[in-house]
């Protein structure tokens, strides 16, 4: 039987997966919503099937539609990309029952470690440090209040099924607690269909450091070093770099070992990422695992030379990992800027619309993962990310300089983007020194606003 993969996603990641399949000589089927008929992934795949209405619920999140599309086109595997159904254990179980290969871990693994409250318990049981907080889900607001008092303010309330920075609130006092609890569980319910919340102590000025894991069915588990994703807007990443400017060899080895240990403990298979917070003293705490390919995976590819998506597919089809831990080395420095259709200085509101013209940057060490093209109309229904600009250079400073040039030469007409905003950050003295934490962008915006008022 010939291999054929359905890509259950849209946008740049669908394009990324199609490219990997083509290089491997595997046929591809794209799925699309009524709003995505003119999307690039539809044009690039060998076949394309419309799976429903514009809203995600009617199409990309419609499990029966996606599965029917895979069956009717004779696909023997599904690549989920990120977001949408990629971490949905119920969907993965349906895929497994149809004898279709899910390119990712098993539904059981996703159910256990994909749920953030349960992941904390698993990490703790395996001796991986977690942030002080509730034991699992908080039953009600009163119970939450008790836990918050015990660990001390500020605390974070987090949706157990959350992702993309949504369903997270910081609470600074008893007075704020009850309201915040109601609001956050409602947000969790509407965004993720699950209102369960858990509580963590708020770590002050942390860095977000995550470890890329790759594992096969033979029990081989390796890590591909870290990514520093501390540059965030509203708890969602905006710039990522590797290696992290704050890790020394010892800390890098320790966090990497903790991630591998946890992956082995849960018999993890395929690509995954363990996310940690590192406090200013260098203590690290596991916060969650993403059981899928991540948005920022290209920077790891640039410094290791490993094509993570091709490796995911090969492992999905039962192959062993093509490398061992000792084959992997950090080569140079890579940075990614997420290019979003948004108004960075107006609360990051999305700015969908028609792109009239584009000039793409290029040159040595410049990579652009995107689905946009001149004349493309960005639909208002999905994520605002329209491109990922990635640079790779021998040193961090050279990478920053390369990113500045690439941003300068990246023109998108017709809509607002955060290209200029990213350009500003690439010139910020603290960023250049590598001295920033997850609160950087919030402080930066307050500063720029004040300057604009003067």
Return the one option of Mg ion, ligand ADP, none that residue 131 interacts with (CB less than 5 to 8 A, by type). Answer: ligand ADP
**Mask of contacts with ligand ADP, 231-260, x by CB under 6 A?**
-x--xxx-----------------------
Return the one option of ligand ADP, Mg ion, none that residue 162 interacts with (CB less than 5 to 8 A, by type). Answer: ligand ADP
Per CB under 6 A, the list member of 27, 87, 226, 311 interacting with ligand ADP is 87
Tell me: does residue 168 bind ligand ADP (CB under 6 A).
yes
Per CB under 6 A, the list member of 296, 307, 336, 369 interacting with ligand ADP is 296
Q: How far apart are CA 8 and CA 103, in angstroms?
A: 11
| Contact indicator for 158, 198 with CB cutoff of 8 Å | yes
Provide φ and ψ at 169, rounded to 5°.
-135, 145
Token output for 431? 């960023």
| Contact indicator for 308, 292 with CB cutoff of 8 Å | no
Per CB under 6 A, the list member of 52, 80, 83, 272 interacting with ligand ADP is 83
Residues carrying an active site annotation: 292
92-121 binders of ligand ADP (CB under 6 A): none
| Contact indicator for 217, 269 with CB cutoff of 8 Å | yes
Provide φ and ψ at 362, rounded to 5°.
-165, -160
Beta bridge partners of 201: 155
Q: How far apart are CA 19 and CA 5, in angstroms?
A: 12
Token pair 């917070």 is found at 277
- Binding region for ligand ADP (CB under 6 A) out of 40-48, 143-151, 155-163, 215-223: 155-163
Return the one option of ligand ADP, Mg ion, none that residue 386 interacts with (CB less than 5 to 8 A, by type). Answer: none
Tell me: does residue 369 bind ligand ADP (CB under 6 A).
no
- Binding region for ligand ADP (CB under 6 A) out of 69-77, 81-89, 260-268, 370-378: 81-89
| Residue 36 or 275 with smaller CB distance to Mg ion | 275
Range list of β-strands (E), 351-452: 353-354, 357-359, 366-370, 377-378, 385-393, 411-413
**Mask of contacts with Mg ion, 289-308, x by CB under 5 A?**
--------------------
Q: How far is CA 2 from the centre of its chain?
A: 31
Burial class (CB in 10 A: 0-12, 13-18, 19+), 235: middle
CB-based contacts of 210, cutoff 8 Å, min separation 6: 226, 227, 229, 273, 274, 275, 276, 294
- Binding region for Mg ion (CB under 5 A) out of 118-126, 240-248, 270-278, 317-325: 270-278
Residue least distant from ligand ADP (Cβ) = 163
| Residue 287 or 391 with smaller CB distance to Mg ion | 287
Taking the complex as a whole, how short is the minimal distance between the CB of residue 164 and ligand ADP, in angstroms? 3
Tell me: does residue 209 bind ligand ADP (CB under 6 A).
no
Tell me: does residue 290 bind ligand ADP (CB under 6 A).
yes
Taking the complex as a whole, how short is the minimal distance between the CB of residue 236 and Mg ion, in angstroms? 9
Per CB under 6 A, the list member of 287, 302, 328, 400 interacting with ligand ADP is 287
Q: How far apart are CA 27 and CA 47, in angstroms?
A: 8
Tell me: does residue 163 bind ligand ADP (CB under 6 A).
yes
| Contact indicator for 170, 191 with CB cutoff of 8 Å | no
Return the one option of Mg ion, ligand ADP, none that residue 165 interacts with (CB less than 5 to 8 A, by type). Answer: ligand ADP
Tell me: does residue 28 bind ligand ADP (CB under 6 A).
no
CB-based contacts of 124, cutoff 8 Å, min separation 6: 130
Q: How far apart are CA 286 and CA 88, in angstroms?
A: 21
Beta bridge partners of 200: 133, 156
Tell me: does residue 288 bind ligand ADP (CB under 6 A).
yes
- Binding region for ligand ADP (CB under 6 A) out of 120-128, 159-167, 254-262, 362-370: 159-167
Q: How far apart are CA 241 and CA 209, in angstroms?
A: 10
Question: CA quadruple 18, 19, 20, 23: dihedral positive or negative?
Answer: positive
Per CB under 6 A, the list member of 36, 115, 226, 275 interacting with ligand ADP is 275
Residues at the site binding ligand ADP, with contacts judged by CB under 6 A: 82-83, 87, 131, 156, 158, 161-165, 168, 192, 200, 202-203, 206, 208, 232, 235-237, 275, 277, 287-288, 290, 294-296, 383, 438
């Amino acid at each position: 039987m010939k291999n054929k993969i359905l890509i259950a996603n849209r946008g740049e990641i669908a394009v990324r997966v199609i490219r990997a399949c083509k290089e491997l000589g595997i046929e591809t089927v794209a799925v699309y919503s009524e709003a995505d008929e003119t999307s690039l992934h539809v044009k690039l795949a060998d076949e394309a099937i419309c799976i429903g209405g514009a809203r995600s619920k009617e199409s990309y999140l419609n499990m029966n539609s996606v599965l029917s599309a895979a069956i009717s086109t004779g696909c023997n595997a599904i690549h989920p990309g990120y977001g949408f159904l990629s971490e949905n254990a119920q969907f993965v179980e349906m895929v497994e029952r149809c004898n279709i290969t899910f390119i990712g871990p098993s539904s059981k693994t996703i159910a256990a470690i994909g749920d953030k409250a349960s992941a904390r318990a698993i990490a703790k049981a395996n001796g991986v440090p977690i942030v002080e907080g509730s034991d699992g889900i908080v039953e009600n607001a009163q119970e939450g209040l008790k836990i918050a008092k015990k660990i001390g303010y500020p605390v974070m309330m987090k949706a157990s099924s959350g992702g993309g920075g949504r369903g997270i609130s910081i609470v600074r006092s008893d007075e704020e607690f009850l309201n915040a609890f109601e609001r956050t569980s409602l947000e969790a319910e509407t965004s993720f269909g699950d209102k369960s919340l858990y509580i963590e102590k708020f770590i002050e000025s942390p860095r977000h450091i995550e470890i890329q894991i790759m594992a096969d069915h033979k029990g081989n588990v390796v890590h591909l070093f870290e990514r520093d994703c501390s540059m965030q807007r509203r708890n969602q990443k905006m710039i990522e770099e590797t290696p992290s400017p704050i890790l020394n060899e010892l800390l890098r080895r320790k966090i990497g070992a903790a991630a591998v240990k946890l992956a082995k403990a849960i018999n993890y298979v395929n690509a995954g990422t363990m996310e940690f917070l590192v406090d200013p003293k260098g203590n690290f705490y596991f916060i969650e695992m993403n059981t899928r390919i991540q948005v920022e995976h290209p920077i790891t590819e640039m410094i290791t030379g490993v094509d993570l998506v091709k490796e995911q597919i090969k492992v999905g089809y039962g192959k062993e990992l093509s490398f061992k831990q000792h084959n992997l080395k950090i080569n140079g420095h890579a940075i990614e800027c997420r290019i979003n259709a948004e108004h960075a200085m107006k609360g990051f509101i999305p700015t969908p619309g028609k792109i009239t013209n584009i000039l793409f940057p290029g040159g040595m060490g410049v990579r652009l993962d995107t689905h946009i093209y001149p004349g493309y109309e960005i639909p208002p229904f999905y994520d605002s990310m329209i491109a990922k600009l990635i640079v790779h250079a021998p040193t961090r400073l050279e990478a920053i300089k390369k990113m500045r040039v690439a941003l300068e030469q990246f023109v998108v007409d017709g809509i607002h983007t955060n290209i200029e905003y990213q350009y500003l950050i690439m010139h910020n003295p603290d960023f250049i020194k590598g001295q920033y934490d997850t609160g950087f962008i919030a402080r930066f915006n307050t500063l720029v606003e004040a300057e604009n008022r003067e």
